[in-house]
Amino acid sequence: MAFDIEMIKAVYEKYPSRISAARKAVGRPLTLTEKILYAHLTQGEASEAFGRGVSYVDFNPDRVAMQDATAQMALLQFMQAGKDKVAVPSTVHCDHLIQAEVGATADLNKAKDKNREVYEFLSSVSNKYGIGFWKPGAGIIHQVVLENYAFPGGMMIGTDSHTPNAGGLGMIAIGVGGADACDVMAGLPWELKFPKLIGVKLTGKLSGWTSAKDVILKVAGILTVKGGTGAVVEYFGEGARSLSATGKGTICNMGAEIGATTSIFGYDEKSEAYLRGTERGDIADMANTIKEHLNGDAEVYANPEKYFDQVIEINLSELEPHVNGPFTPDLAWPLSKFAAAVKENGWPAKLDVGLIGSCTNSSYEDISRAASLAQQAVDKKLIAKSEYTITPGSEQVRFTVERDGFLDVFGKMGGVVLANACGPCIGQWARHGADKQEKNSIITSFNRNFAKRADGNPNTHAFVASPEVVTALAIAGDLTFNPMTDTLTNEDGQQVKLDEPKGLELPTKGFAVEDAGYQAPAQDGSKVQVIVDPQSERLQLLEPFKAWEGTDLKGLKLLIKAKGKCTTDHISMAGPWLRYRGHLDNISNNMLIGAVNAYNEETNKVKNQLTGEYGEVPAVQRQYKLQGIGSIVVGDENYGEGSSREHAAMEPRFLGVRAILVKSFARIHETNLKKQGMLALTFANPADYDLIQEDDSIDILGLTEFAPGKPLTVVLNHADGSRNEIKVNHTYNEGQIEWFKAGSALNLIKAGI
Ligand code: SF4
């Protein structure tokens, strides 16, 4: 049903010639990452080698995946492109908006009701434009993708940070913002800075209590949350080949926690078994025909130091189970040292809740191994001391593990099965008593454990471990319990020990599902109406932005001179505003409310030049807009760093800001501004930032001769009648200048230029 065999065939047919061209261009053996990237170049066969961490390169990804929170704006934008259908296979997954409260069925029904307008929009827009739609309850994006769409040697982008999960099946899968997804669905290339490469050589074999999760918990401890930035992490070695495909998925998923662009494993027997197990034997057959291209070259893995920018080696036979946290996923503790760390640091030893599952750890293997411990708890008369929840990653996994009796076992242990959705992992958790903000501990098999993420309580100490360790600790109700060495007292007062967990990588009876929750798009979507209620607070159809008027911009009011750090979160805050992600007008009420005004060091308080009074940034800007007056935002270094959310560029554009002038930009935000038809400018002399005054009226000159590499002139007309003329730079190429002139990149696509 869900995968596109013709597309994969076309990708594989290109492999032999593209890899041989790449080898010639690079002049040495290739890593797997390089093979996949060079096989997906927009230009076709490589004619030159790209500089790692230097070159910006255009790629043609094979797929796009979107989750429901980010899909809204991505698809509202896509509707502006004037296309009948998406250019590459794409899917939408309804997983982020379901709140966990009492249990799967009730929670799902409540979410369907509460988010009806969002689901109706996503369902209808998917139906119209040829996008596969996974309904609420179908599962979490990354698990569904792994089961249905990921394929060895493929390339995918997804509007979610844990998209790299598909690397477990040998795919280069990268998390992006909605604007990038929109471009690729509209048939445009996708730009990426050619990544650096970190090689992780795995030797030995896992056994006993240790699982794939412990590999990434260990790697996170080594590399820290920033260590993977700008790099792809490629795993190889006999240890890698011994891991299940879903275990590899867990490792790649959590590569996001070290900031990696993505992570990947090569194609092997375990990948083949998983493809066949998920009824994709035809893909396995095809992959087998180009097997040599779906792994790095033998020489690369024999002498990794020569070919990777950094190499790490981990012996799986010696690897201990780990617990990471609290508050950061890179604080890694081997299980044998964890109890002492809990005591020394004064973390609450009493464990309140253990949570297993999520997109990171809800494979058949994970659930069966955790269930083997739950069964022991029942058999050995142990009553679980902590609350315990299970979040299946997909309906297919849920149905199968229910059929095989595992959910029943969890129930006997006191576990509660939550909906197949993100739930507590993304803070969609109506946790009883969290508002009291009491100090407490929880442990999850999820990926992120930043303060407040799960339940909004800053005093919840969240730890991350494998589902096996989470289950054992939940049975004990105590973070200082080490299941490998310690005993527990059972109902009869006897001391009992938990045996090592046991499980199966794949179900012996195969996967089963009654209704996977998939809605295929209409063959011909031309008659399908996209449903958006004009009264909706959460959704609003977009209007195209106006084209450039063809003249220099004069008399722009300074809206704010932002001081210091100004991330996309300062520009378009998350939290309660997530609700309005599909409504540009409403979400624009958060524009720049987190930015610090350089003149009064306060946030969300700027001078309204029309009245002389101080007001909130969006309110002041709306007054300028009402009067038809353009404005300008001035910023400091690395303006727009952080998440790639396109709202941070769309909101100022929507409210009438014409230019952003800063000391330097974070590149993704700079590109997003260009796409929306904004002027993204930098001071030729950064010290000129100090010349900007609070009452300035600003002119931007030279736009009629706007050209690549040619600076523009900015005139600062100060309130006292004096003026400064300064040079400003830009990085627009010819094509991007056309975006500016057309009003946005989408306007240009729509015009078919
Ligand atoms: Fe993201 Fe958690 Fe949902 Fe996975 S389960 S997609 S990490 S929110």
Angle at which helices 269-277 and 281-289 cross, to 10°: 150
Q: How far apart are CA 750 and CA 82, in angstroms?
A: 5
pLDDT given for residue 2 in this prediction: 45
**Which residue's alpha carbon is nearest to atom 2 within ligand 1?**
425
At residue 65, what are phi and psi to the nearest 5 degrees? -125, 140
69 lines ligand 1 (CB under 6 A): no
Query: 295: how many CB neighbours lie within 10 A of its CB?
Result: 23
Q: What is the three-class DSSP state of 745?
A: helix
pLDDT given for residue 753 in this prediction: 63
pLDDT at 570 over 80: yes
Q: How far apart are CA 241 and CA 237, in angstroms?
A: 7
418 lines ligand 1 (CB under 6 A): no
469 lines ligand 1 (CB under 6 A): no
562-585 burial string, b = 16+ CB within 10 Å, else e?
A: bbebbbbbbbbbeeeeebbbbbbe
CA of 552 to the centre of ligand 1 (A): 46
Q: How far apart are CA 363 and CA 213, in angstroms?
A: 12
Tell me how far apart the terminal alpha carbons of the chain are, to the nearest angstrom.
Answer: 35
Residue 745 near residue 182, CB atoms below 8 Å:
no
Q: Mean of the pLDDT values across residues 662-690?
A: 96
422 lines ligand 1 (CB under 6 A): yes
- Closest ligand 1 atom to 161 CA: 1
E strand or H helix that includes residue 64: strand 63-67
Q: Mean of the pLDDT values across residues 99-108?
A: 96
Share of the chain above pLDDT 70, in %: 99
Tens-digit pLDDT profile for residues 415-470: 999 999 999 998 899 998 999 999 999 999 999 998 888 999 999 999 999 999 99
Query: Strand ranges (DSSP E) for 226-277?
Result: 231-236, 262-265
pLDDT at 75 over 80: yes
Given 95, 180, 330, 696, the catalytic residue: 95
Q: What is the DSSP letter of 523?
A: S
Q: Which two tokens stand for residue 58?
A: 């255009």
Q: What is the DSSP letter of 359?
A: T
Ligand 1 pocket test, pick from 66, 358, 389 with the greatest ligand atom count within 8 Å of Cβ, gives 358
CA of 740 to the centre of ligand 1 (A): 36
Given 160, 366, 404, 696, the catalytic residue: 160
CA of 425 to the centre of ligand 1 (A): 6
Query: pTM (2 decimals)?
Result: 0.94
Task: Give the CA diameter of the chain.
Answer: 89
CA of 355 to the centre of ligand 1 (A): 13
- Closest ligand 1 atom to 165 CA: 4
Residue 100 near residue 429, CB atoms below 8 Å:
yes
| pLDDT band (50, 70, 90) for residue 752 | confident
Query: 752: how many CB neighbours lie within 10 A of its CB?
Result: 6
Q: Mean of the pLDDT values across residues 165-183?
A: 96
The candidate with the shortest Cα–Cα distance to 382, out of 479, 499, 286, is 499
pLDDT given for residue 644 in this prediction: 80
Query: 44: how many CB neighbours lie within 10 A of its CB?
Result: 11
All residues at 6 or more sequence positions from 196 whose CB lies less than 8 Å from its CB, including other chains: 52, 53, 230, 231, 232, 309, 310
The one-letter code for the residue type at 418 is L
Q: Please spell the DSSP secondary structure of 102-132, one letter per residue.
A: S-HHHHHHHHHHHTHHHHHHHHHHHHHHT-E
Q: Please spell the DSSP secondary structure of 575-628, one letter per residue.
A: GGGGGGTB-HHHHGGGBTTTSBBTTTS-BS-EE-TTTS-EE-HHHHHHHHHHTT
All residues at 6 or more sequence positions from 340 whose CB lies less than 8 Å from its CB, including other chains: none
Ligand 1 pocket test, pick from 140, 257, 356, 360 with the greatest ligand atom count within 8 Å of Cβ, gives 140
Phi-psi region of 177 (alpha: psi -120 to 50; beta: other; left: phi over 0): beta
CA of 682 to the centre of ligand 1 (A): 36
Catalytic residue list contains 643? yes
Cis amide linkage into residue 501, ω under 30° from 0 = no
CA of 227 to the centre of ligand 1 (A): 21
pLDDT given for residue 446 in this prediction: 97
447 lines ligand 1 (CB under 6 A): yes
Ligand 1 pocket test, pick from 425, 444, 578 with the greatest ligand atom count within 8 Å of Cβ, gives 425
Which residue segments constitute the domains of the chain, with CATH numbers given? 5-315 (3.30.499.10), 322-496 (3.30.499.10), 553-750 (3.20.19.10)
Tens-digit pLDDT profile for residues 112-152: 999 999 999 999 999 999 999 999 999 999 999 999 999 99
Given 90, 123, 372, 643, the catalytic residue: 643
30 lines ligand 1 (CB under 6 A): no
- Closest ligand 1 atom to 142 CA: 6
140 lines ligand 1 (CB under 6 A): yes
Residue 163 near residue 175, CB atoms below 8 Å:
yes
CA of 257 to the centre of ligand 1 (A): 12
In this structure, the dihedral spanned by the alpha carbons of residues 132, 137, 141 and 144, taken in order and rounded to 10 degrees, is -80
**Which residue's alpha carbon is nearest to atom 8 within ligand 1?**
426
Burial environment of residue 224 by CB neighbours within 10 A (0 to 12, 13 to 18, 19 or more): middle
At residue 515, what are phi and psi to the nearest 5 degrees? -135, 105
Residue 323 near residue 354, CB atoms below 8 Å:
no
Q: Please spell the DSSP secondary structure of 422-442, one letter per residue.
A: -GGGGT-B--TTGGG---EEE
Mean pLDDT of the chain: 96
**Which residue's alpha carbon is nearest to atom 4 within ligand 1?**
359
Residue 496 near residue 103, CB atoms below 8 Å:
no
425 lines ligand 1 (CB under 6 A): yes
Residues in the chain: 753
421 lines ligand 1 (CB under 6 A): no
Q: What is the DSSP letter of 721?
A: S
68 lines ligand 1 (CB under 6 A): no
pLDDT at 1 over 80: no
CA of 264 to the centre of ligand 1 (A): 19
Q: Which two tokens stand for residue 18?
A: 């593209």
pLDDT given for residue 667 in this prediction: 85
Ligand 1 pocket test, pick from 68, 96, 426 with the greatest ligand atom count within 8 Å of Cβ, gives 426
With the C-alpha atoms ordered 94, 98, 102, 106, is the resulting torsion angle positive or negative? Answer: negative
Ligand 1 pocket test, pick from 70, 93, 95, 97 with the greatest ligand atom count within 8 Å of Cβ, gives 95
- Closest ligand 1 atom to 447 CA: 7
Given 448, 461, 538, 622, the catalytic residue: 448
Tens-digit pLDDT profile for residues 311-349: 999 999 999 999 999 999 999 999 999 999 999 999 999
The candidate with the shortest Cα–Cα distance to 147, out of 125, 173, 126, 168, is 168
In this structure, the dihedral spanned by the alpha carbons of residues 54, 217, 367 and 355, taken in order and rounded to 10 degrees, is -110
671 lines ligand 1 (CB under 6 A): no
Which residue is it, tokens 């867990």?
250
With the C-alpha atoms ordered 717, 721, 725, 726, is the resulting torsion angle positive or negative? Answer: negative
Catalytic residue list contains 645? yes
CA of 93 to the centre of ligand 1 (A): 12
358 lines ligand 1 (CB under 6 A): yes
590 lines ligand 1 (CB under 6 A): no
CA of 433 to the centre of ligand 1 (A): 23
Q: How far apart are CA 252 and CA 249, in angstroms?
A: 5
How many CA atoms does the CB half-sphere of 340 hold within 13 Å?
A: 5
Q: What is the three-class DSSP state of 464?
A: strand
CA 196 distance to own-chain centroid: 19
Q: What is the DSSP letter of 504?
A: -
Q: How far apart are CA 212 and CA 205, in angstroms?
A: 10
Q: What is the three-class DSSP state of 689?
A: helix
Tens-digit pLDDT profile for residues 273-292: 999 999 999 999 999 999 99
Burial environment of residue 112 by CB neighbours within 10 A (0 to 12, 13 to 18, 19 or more): middle
CA of 157 to the centre of ligand 1 (A): 16
**Which residue's alpha carbon is nearest to atom 3 within ligand 1?**
422
453 lines ligand 1 (CB under 6 A): no
Residue 714 near residue 700, CB atoms below 8 Å:
yes
Catalytic residue list contains 583? no
359 lines ligand 1 (CB under 6 A): yes
- Strand 310-315 and strand 322-324: pairing? unpaired
Angle at which helices 178-185 and 68-80 cross, to 10°: 50
Catalytic residue list contains 398? no
Q: How far apart are CA 372 and CA 376, in angstroms?
A: 6
- Closest ligand 1 atom to 141 CA: 6
Which residue is it, tokens 């946005």?
744
